[in-house]
Structure 1
Amino acid sequence: MDWEHGSKVTMNVSNSYPVAANRWHYFFVPYGTKQLVIYTGSIKQEISDSDGKILYSWENKPNVPGFIFVDIPEGQDGKVWKIRGVYVGNIEFINVPPYIALSPDELLVPEEALKKH
């Protein structure tokens, strides 16, 4: 599938959508979120906050399915984060909107997720 650069192209991962390996995917962490919870086909993932700080790394993790829990640092809620898997696999966001994009500019965020609580 091809689309024009800058187009808003967002993928729904609510049904454990398979994502490509070694490619960053961007997602939104709503205001007030204290911990990110993800279920994935492989816990060999890397997750960075909006400043690019790696908060979860695949190093020394087995290639097995499971939950990933990441505490949200102060001031990092209400922002776009990114995830990259080492292996092709499914991801399912448990407590944030289930949408990913290949760049932050392409990400569509549900209006209710943008509201401060």
Structure 2
Amino acid sequence: MHFKLIIVMVEDAKTNDVLDAARDAGAKGATVLNQARGEGLTPGKTFLGLSMNSQVDVLLMLVEEHFSRDVLERVAEAGEFDETSGTGIACQIDVEDALGVAHQIEALSSDVEELI
């Protein structure tokens, strides 16, 4: 079984919506890193050295490759990434090898067979 790593940076207010969309599209779980900071085309505003931008969460999802594109698209839709600038980004990268996912492989086997 081959996996993709989907990396999402999303406004913390939309994290749960994005996670729900990812799960509905086939993701079996995620790691959420809270209180990250992102910067887009223009630098963020500060006040006395403190950032005035909203906090973002980083989501890491190891997704079976047959589900990855759908998960990526659903995440972008739920996070409204293309509608509003600065709401978040998502990308996927190939994973050469992964350990500790035997339980996911068992859960995914029948789903992937149905898809193929």
Assess same fold via TM > 0.5: no
TM-score, L = length of structure 1? 0.36
TM-score, L = length of structure 2? 0.36
Report the structure, 1 or 2, having the larger helix content: 2
Report the structure, 1 or 2, having the larger strand content: 1
